[in-house]
Structures are given as C-alpha cells and as structure tokens.
Structure 1
Amino acid sequence: MKKTVINKGKIKKAREMGGFMSGVLVLSVSTVIVKVIGLGVKIPLLSVLSAGGMGYFNSAVEIYALLCVIATAGLPVAMSMIISAERERGNPLGVRQTYKTAMAVFVTLGLIGSGTMLFFAKPIAIAIGNPDAHFCIMAISPSLLFVCVSSAVRGYFQGFGYMTPTAVSQLIEALFKLVFGVWLGALAVKLGMSLPIAAGMSVLGLSIGMLFSSVYLLAVKGIRGRIFELDLCSPTPSDKMATRLLSIAFPITLSAAVIGSCRIVDMTLILRRLQFSGVPLETANIIYGSYATLALPVFGLIPSLVTPISLSVVPAICSAIEGGDTEGQKRVVNKALRLTVLLAMPASMGLSFYARPILSILFSGESVAIGIAAPLLSVLGASVMFSSLITVTNAVLQSYKKTVIPIISMAIGAAVKIILAYILIGIKEIGAYGAPLSTLACDLTVTAINMCVIEKSTPSGTETVNVFIKPLAASLSAMAVSVAVYVSMLNLLRVSDRVAFIAALVVTVFAYIAFAFIFGAISNEDIAELGIRKKQRGKRAEDHPVSHNEYTKRKENQNDGRGKNIGSP
C-alpha cells in the first residue's frame, strides 16, 4: 500500500513538471518563430526606410511599448494567478468573474492609452527629442486597445496552463505585421511620401497585426472557454474581484513599467546627450536608429525566449502554494531558473564574441548601420543572462506575493542606469556606449537583489550547482570549442567571416548539448518530462469535440454539485 502511494506521488510530480515544461515548450517554439518574423520585418524595413526612418519607427514603438507595459503587464499575471487558484478550489464562478472583471479593466485602460497616444502624439514626440515621430505615434495608437483585449484572453487561458492560444495569436500578430508593415512602408516610399510619413505607414501595419490577433483570441475564447470551465464544480463565487485583481496587478505593472521606462531613457538620453556632446540631431537619430533596429532586437531575442518560462511558472507555483506542496514549489522554481541559465548563458557569451558576424548575416548590405551597432551589441551581450534572469525571478517573487521586491529592485536598477547613462553618453569618448554599459549595470543590480530575496525569503531556495555551476561549465567548454573552430577556419582555411561563423555556430550547438549532458546540466528526466503533458492532454475531454448532449449532461452535473474537478487542460 505504501508503495502505491509513493508511485502515485511520483506520477503527480511528473505530471506537474510535465505541464510546466509543456507550456514552456509551446510558447518557446512560437516565440522563436515570432522573433524570426520580427527580424524579417526590420530587415526589409531598414532597406526601405533607412536608419533615419527607423529612428522615427522605433521612437513610436518604444512609446507604445511603455504604455503597453503600464496597461497590460500586471493584469494577465494577476489573472493567471487567481484563475489557477480558483481552479484548485473548483470554483467556475470565480474563474468567470475574474475574466469579466479583467476584460472591463483592460478595455478601459486600452481606450485611455490609445486616446492619449492619438491626441497627444505631437507633444510626446517633442518630449523625446524626435518631433517628426508623431506620425508614427498616431499610427500605432490603436494597437494599445487591441493588445489590451488580447491580454485579457491570454491571461484567462494561461491560468488554465493552456498556452496554445497565446502562441498562435503571437504568430498571427507577427505575420500580419510582416506583410502589412513592409508593404505599406514600401508603398509610401514608392508614392514619394516623406520619411516620417512612410515610417508611420509601416507602423500602421503593426496595428493591423494586433487587430487580427485580438479577433482570433476572442473567437477561441467564445468557442472553448465554457468547455474549460465545465471541469470546475464548486458554486462559491469570489468577492471583490476587481480589488483582488488590481491589488496583485498594480505592483507587477509598476515594476514592469520601470523596465519600459529604461528603454525610453535609452532613447531620450542617446538623442539628447549625443547632441550635448556635439553630435548633430540627424547623426544622433541615425545612431539611435542603428542601435534600436539592429542591436536591441538581437539582444532582446534570448530574454524574450525566457518569457514563456515566466508565464508558465506563475500558475505552476500558485497551484503548488494553494495545495501546500513545498517540494512542488521548489521543483518548479529551480527548474525555471535552470532552464533560463541554460538558454541565456551560452547566448550571452556568443553574442558578445560574434556580434559583428551575426549582424552582417541578418542585415547584409547595411554596412554603416552594422558598423555602429556591432560594438554596442558586443557590450549588450554581457547583459543577456542577467536580463533573462530578471524576467523569471520577477515572476517567481510575484507568485509568492512578494510583489514589492521587483518594484524596489527595478527602481534601484533604473536609478543606476539613468545616472550612468546620463554621465557616460555625454562623454564624447564614450558616447553611445554609455547606453549598453548602463544597461549591464542595471540588469546586474536587479538580478542580484532578486536572487538574494528568493534565496532567503521563499521556501524554495536555489540549487546553486545545478542552476549556475553546471551550465557555466558547459557554456565555457562549448565557447572554447567555438572560438577554436572560428579562428582556425579564418586563419588556416582562409574562408570568409560569414562561413567561419556559421560553421562555428553549428559546432557550438552540438558541443553545448554534449557538454550539458556531460556536466549534468541537462538530464534524461528533463527530456522525458516534455512528453508527459502531451500524453496527459490526450485523455482530457476538452481536447476533443464535445457533443451538445454531453455538454448539457455535464452542465447539469455541475449545477447539481456532482461534477468532477478533472484539472487543467
């Protein structure tokens, strides 16, 4: 009998980790595709609009990103936390009430944000030191409403641990951005429109992508939402849902807004402080356009791949907390941190060493922009791991309701960044290098604070050897092999820089996987967990069509209090 209990416990643990890994895998794959498409947008846009036009484009995108963070960063996380807890209790009314309340709040915030960008576009553009960017700001203003609606639906499904709608909506959004963004920009240039207006037309393509994404999510919610809730049977409603949502969302939003503000700091200080050091506005805009179009998207690729881990970790930890499973919490936290370091550490090293070859392949023909951006990307590369860890550690702290800690750590990091950026960018000999250097100092500061709090104040603790030491050993070994291959091909075989880099990259990937297994950074258990969720979901009713009769029968059982809490989809 005892043996049976132990086996059941092991099966439960495996399912929990399998669900977490499944969510990470689905979103990771979609994020990779989305990021590739995102680069596919910027590469032709750079050719169409030039670095100067991309300066206008990116100025609007950064303003939008900040307002988007303020409007949407906290509520989806709060939704997933609350819905996950309501599922654990078997409370369908709490789930529905959470969704309806969140959607009302989201739509209100979206209307306010879109209206602000539309009617105050000119003052905003002047405030950031790029007056002609106001066309782009107006063009992107509807996106804020669309992304707010999308975020409400994504938060709903994430609370069930069901990441597919989020992944598909991201793909739809990216594809329509690519098609309409490039087409409208090229059309505007062909018609002889000015550069600021052509950039605005390209930005309009982003708004169209957001529109189609939100329409898809609303359709999926309408079709599948009620089927999900049939597995929950308790009639107990949740009180004061708006207060509950906002109390969780506000500190998360505040900490995320600090991150968005740092990007605005970069933009404003690069433009203004370079002019202070004697650089003309047009040249400063080209420098910023190159940095924001080439360096920042490549730098942001790895941290964005970590976002699926943070989205999956919140409902997983909340469910473990609700069930009083301390061991489950520890497993999820350490798994999330280890996956993050496994992904980000070698990427950080590689990006610093191979910045120029990477940009030369992605943006061939843009030698001037590459010459500006490559050295800046080399410095930014060192920040990749810390930036990735910020995303996950913030999510862990928020799951434990320690929402004030990310605010404090981000505020301290932002202060470090602003002070250093202001001083360094204004020094003629340093110039734009001050932006990535201040980013590195900021990310290192925030990561250190978050990790200290996780180690001391949560029941999880950190498995230092598994999380950091083993991935470090694998990364250093793989990079040693990579550099040896790269240098040998350049000096001995006399091949081009591009060919040498591609060969070194292929060798590095296989070498890293091999060293990760050798040093124990990846185990056979990690691979096995990826398949558990798929098998588990294959047996779930919500993954198959439900007939009208069965739907009615299950609904009656739910109303009679006889339904069974099957669990998450």
Structure 2
Amino acid sequence: MSESSNQDTTSKPTVDAQRQMVNGSAWMTAGSILSRILGAIYIIPWGIWFGSLFFQGNALFAKGYNIYSFFLIAAIAGIPSAIAKQVAHYNALNEYGVGVRLYKLGLVLAAATGIVCALLLYFGAPIFAGDDKNVIPVLHSLAWAVLIIPTMSLTRGYFQGYQQMAPSAISQFVEQLARVIYMLVTAFVIMRVMHGSWVTAVSQSTFAAFVGAVAGLLILGVYYLRRRDEFQELVRNSSNEIIVPAKQLYREILQQAVPFIILGAGITIFQLIDQFTFFRIMRLAANYSQVYLNDLFAMFAANSNKLIMITVSLSSALAITAVPLLSEAYTKKDHGEISRQITNVFLMLEFIMLPSALGMSAIAGPLNTVFYGHQQAQLATQILEFSSYVSIILGLFTVTSAIMQGISQNKRAVRYFLVGTVVKFIVQVPAVYYLGSFGPLVATAAGFIVANYLIIRSLNRQFGLNYHAISRDTNRVLLYSLLTFAVAWVMTRLLEILVNWLGLGSGKVISLIVVLIAAAIGGYVYVYLALHSRLADRVMGSRVGRLRTLFKIK
C-alpha cells in the first residue's frame, strides 16, 4: 500500500469511534485529574500538621501504599478491565445478556479475591514490612480497603464496557474526596489536638482508603439503579444466540484478568523494586542514617511521584477508554479501524502528556515549595524536574500495554514487560550506587523504554502504524510543548526575580502565585497554538472549535 493510501485509511478514525474515545477520555480524564489534584493538594495541610516529621510520615505512607497497591491490583486481579473488554466484546455481538452474566460472575470472583488478599496483607504485614516495623500498622489499616475496592472497580468496569465513563469518573472523584476529608480530619486531631503518635496518624491516613471506597461504591450503586431499566431493555432485545456456560465465562475472565494483574501493576512493581533495593544499595555506597535515606526516598518515591502521577493519570484515562473500543474493533476483525484507533490514541497521549510533563518541569521549583516547603529544596526540585520527563515514558507504557490488552495480546505484552523489568534490575544497582536518589528514576526509565519499544514494534508489524501521520502531528505537538516550556520557565524565573526584588520572600503563598501565573501563561500559549493551527481539531475532534470561539482565536 502506498504511503498516501495508508494515510487515508489510518490517519483519521471513524467519527463515531473518535467521538466515543474523546467523550470517554474527557470523563475519565476529568475524574482522574480531579482525583489526582485532590490527592496532591491534601499534602499541604497534612504536611503542616506533621511539622518536622513530614518527610518521615510521607516516606512511611509511600512504603505502605506501594505494598498495598500491589495487593490491591492482585485482589482486583484485572477483573474490571477484563469485564469491560469482554462486555464490549459481547455487546458488539448484540449479546447483552452474556455481559450481564459476566458481571454477576465477576462479582463473586471480586469478593473472593478481595477477602483472600485482605487476609494475606493483614496477617502477612510483619513479613512485608521488612526492616521498618512502623509499616505493620499501616498495612493493617489498608487491608480493609482491599476487601471492597475489587467490587467497586468491577462495577466501574461494567459501565466502561458500555462506554459509559461518567459513573466511573464521578465515583472516582467522590472516593478521593471522602478519603482526603478523613485523612485531614484524623491527621489534625491526632497530631495537633491529641499530640499523638505520627505512626498512628499515618495509619489513619491510610485507613482513609477504606472510607473513600465505601463512598465510591455507594455512588456506583445509585448509577446502576438509575440505569437498570436501560440495561434490562438491551438484554431483552439481544440476539440471544450465544449460550456460554458459567465455567467458560469464568475461564474467559481469568484468561483476560491474569495478564492485567502484571501489566496493571507495572509501575507499582517498579516502585516495589525501588523500595526493597534503594536502602540496601545506598548503604553499600556510604554509611547513611535511616532518617536521611527516608528523606531521599520520600523525595523521589512519594513527593515527586505524587505530582507526576497527575499527568500519568491522563494516560490512564486514555488507556481505560481505549480498551473496550479496541476490543470491539478486534472482535469485528477490522484491522483498519484498529490501526486508526491506535494512531489516534498515541496522538491524544502526546497532545496531553508532552505539554503537561514539560510544563511541570518548568515550574518545578515553586511547585515543590508549594507542596513540600524548603526542606532540601534544590535536590527536591531537581528530582521533580527529572521525574516530570520520566512521567512521559510511564504514561506511554500505560497506554501501549492497554492497547495490547484491547487486542487480546496480553501474554505478549507481559513478556515485553518482563524484559523491561530485567533491564530495570540490571540498571538499578549501578544507577543507585552512583546517582543516589536519581538512580531509581534512571533505571525505571530504562526499563519502560525497552518495554515500550518492543510493544510499539509489535503493533507496527501487525497493523502498520501510520508513522507519517503520527510524526507530522508529533513534531507540532513537540514544538508547541517546547515553546510552552520556554514561556513557563522564563515567566517563573522573572517572577522569582521580581519577588526577591520586592522582598516578598519565597513562602508557600508566594510560590503558589508564581505557579499559577506561569502555568496559566504557558498553558494559554499551548492552547492558542494548538487551536490556531487546527492541530487540536485533528487530534481531539471538530468540537474543540468551540474553544476557538471562546478564546476568539482565528
């Protein structure tokens, strides 16, 4: 096929598919971003109430959450994404009744895996805690969340199978809101009113995951009751030509789910590697104190990670939206549509991730001050800058692995991830030994670069990715993102000079003002360029033209 022909068939997805992807991505992006922002903003008052114990508390929080995240992914077992994919598959065949049975059977699996993993986490806490016994009560508090989150996540997956992203997004936001409120209230009472133990305060902050899960599940229940008649109507009008035994449905769920565990836990697995190797390798390099190592660990594994995951959540939203749509196209054996959707997913990822990550790097100094104060500010800022670049690679892996799952190539994706994990292990020791707190980030970037390369190469061999269309728009996105970075960086430096000249200091409030002004001006530059050049129309659809009218851009 000629290049021009290939461009015609793969550069533009079908209108319906693009509209579904954009609408779904909009809901999931809004839910993810708002949740991540809440999950980052709480750290400001939380840190104030912990005082001088802030970094120690944040390091303990990260240690507990890394282990919890792995158990949670194991408990969820990839069932929600598998359910979303299989429900979309059967819906495409007009077999809605099979999808309902899948959901009910999935509920049983979710409840069972939740109970097993919660018990393992609770009673195995002394083993998983390693050398830090303070982690034990934190893991005990997190075990409760593992009980019910699988059921909540499964229900989200069911809605996503119908391309209904609003329930998932809204429940995600409510879950985070309830969690943050509980965290802040308990932290204030324990640390400021009762002057209690900081370990107890961290344990209550992690127990907040259970409180948030209950709130999120209630929201999903309300949505399900509202749409129950709609689901029942679809079942009544199904073809009902396929009869799938329960045993086969369970087998389908598990076959799809197990690879989701490994791929869904990809970033968490790398974080666990850091948690269990960083301290040992650093002690080989020099005789550092535990407090100093905890501070370093907090800076790269908790502080910067919390902020960059805001941008990575953008790619997660795209990934969640892409899986059922790709599954539907794969079921219909429409390779042209698969190629178009993969191309569009990559372009949407670049369109959002590149300016977000580069923009965060440009304002890293004052941004770090807003959230984490002046403790080792120079090193913390440098780590946040570098982490911002690494977030692009993490976001790409989130999307590429989801694409592989959407086209039923889970085993191959797992194999590529394992290769990346081997690379991570190989690079980890020398990188941490010589680069200190930057070492884990370098090793993580190396591992995911290899995994991403292998996945993209495989996709291109099977479906012929339209590199001409991708590279054409990628060049523009990169150019506009670099201009955005330059503008935000210059504005940040000019404002810092002005603040120093006026003698206003560099506290959290002043730093927040600097961040807001620099981010707003840099963001406007990107929006203007993307709308003026019509790049936004090609990537996000024609409806972004409303923004052009709003901002009065020709």
- For the aligned pair, the TM-score class normalised by the smaller chain equals 0.7 to 0.9
Aligned to 1:150: 152
- SS for the counterpart of 1:523 is helix
d(CA) in 2 for partners of 1:508, 1:526: 20
Aligned to 1:62: 66
Matched, 1:256 2:264: yes
Matched, 1:311 2:320: yes
Q: Could you list the per-position Cα deviations for residues 205-233 of structure 1 after superposition, in whole angstroms to 9, with x for gaps in the alignment? A: 22211122123323433442352242242
Aligned to 1:391: 398
d(CA) in 2 for partners of 1:195, 1:420: 35
Contact 1:75–1:249 under 8 Å retained in 2: yes
Contact 1:352–1:381 under 8 Å retained in 2: yes
Aligned to 2:76: 72
Contact 1:68–1:144 under 8 Å retained in 2: yes
Q: Which moved more, 1:488-497 or 1:334-343?
A: 488-497
d(CA) in 1 for partners of 2:523, 2:38: 22
Contact 1:21–1:529 under 8 Å retained in 2: no
d(CA) in 2 for partners of 1:257, 1:175: 24
Spell out the pairing of 1:188-337 with structure 2 (5 A cutoff).
188-189=190-191, 190-232=193-235, 233-235=238-240, 236-239=242-245, 240-276=248-284, 277-337=286-346
One-letter amino acid matched to 1:150: M
d(CA) in 2 for partners of 1:45, 1:292: 17
Q: CA deviation at 1:490?
A: 4.9
Aligned to 1:338: 347
- How many residue pairs match? The answer is 516
Q: CA deviation at 1:269?
A: 2.2
Q: CA deviation at 1:157?
A: 0.4
Q: Could you list the per-position Cα deviations for residues 10-65 of structure 1 after superposition, in whole angstroms to 9, with x for gaps in the alignment? A: xx932232122111101111212111111122222222331112222221111111
d(CA) in 2 for partners of 1:272, 1:162: 46
Gaps of 5+ in 2: 1-12, 547-554
TM-score, normalised with respect to structure 1: 0.85
Aligned to 2:361: 352
One-letter amino acid matched to 1:234: S
One-letter amino acid matched to 1:21: V
Contact 2:183–2:208 under 8 Å retained in 1: yes
One-letter amino acid matched to 1:194: S
d(CA) in 1 for partners of 2:541, 2:243: 40
One-letter amino acid matched to 1:115: L
Q: CA deviation at 1:100?
A: 1.3
Contact 1:59–1:267 under 8 Å retained in 2: yes
Q: Could you list the per-position Cα deviations for residues 423-478 of structure 1 after superposition, in whole angstroms to 9, with x for gaps in the alignment? A: 22234xx2212122222222222222222111112355443324522211221233
Q: Could you list the per-position Cα deviations for residues 298-338 of structure 1 after superposition, in whole angstroms to 9, with x for gaps in the alignment? A: 11111112211111111111222233434432332222111
| Cα distance, 1:268–1:140 mapped onto 2, change above 3 Å | same
Aligned to 2:4: none
Q: CA deviation at 1:261?
A: 1.3
| Cα distance, 1:483–1:41 mapped onto 2, change above 3 Å | closer
One-letter amino acid matched to 1:338: L
Aligned to 1:464: 470
Contact 1:424–1:431 under 8 Å retained in 2: yes
Aligned to 1:164: 166
447, 450, 459: which one aligns with 2:452: 447
| Cα distance, 1:358–1:469 mapped onto 2, change above 3 Å | same
421, 444, 448: which one aligns with 2:428: 421
| Cα distance, 1:409–1:47 mapped onto 2, change above 3 Å | farther
One-letter amino acid matched to 2:159: F
| Cα distance, 1:480–1:285 mapped onto 2, change above 3 Å | closer
Contact 2:89–2:331 under 8 Å retained in 1: yes
Contact 1:386–1:443 under 8 Å retained in 2: yes
| Cα distance, 1:372–1:125 mapped onto 2, change above 3 Å | farther
| Cα distance, 1:255–1:527 mapped onto 2, change above 3 Å | closer
Q: CA deviation at 1:73?
A: 5.5
One-letter amino acid matched to 1:107: A
d(CA) in 2 for partners of 1:529, 1:313: 20
Contact 2:336–2:463 under 8 Å retained in 1: no
Aligned to 1:46: 47
- SS for the counterpart of 2:62 is helix
d(CA) in 2 for partners of 1:73, 1:303: 21
CA-based RMSD of the aligned residues comes to 2.5
Q: Which moved more, 1:82-91 or 1:206-215?
A: 206-215
Q: CA deviation at 1:500?
A: 5.0
Q: CA deviation at 1:408?
A: 2.0
Contact 1:287–1:372 under 8 Å retained in 2: no
Contact 1:54–1:293 under 8 Å retained in 2: yes
Aligned to 2:9: none
| Cα distance, 1:110–1:30 mapped onto 2, change above 3 Å | same
Q: Could you list the per-position Cα deviations for residues 153-173 of structure 1 after superposition, in whole angstroms to 9, with x for gaps in the alignment? A: 011000000011111111111
Contact 1:329–1:460 under 8 Å retained in 2: no
Contact 1:93–1:238 under 8 Å retained in 2: no
- SS for the counterpart of 2:375 is helix
d(CA) in 1 for partners of 2:201, 2:452: 40
Contact 2:85–2:161 under 8 Å retained in 1: yes
Aligned to 1:16: 17
Q: CA deviation at 1:501?
A: 4.6
| Cα distance, 1:478–1:57 mapped onto 2, change above 3 Å | closer
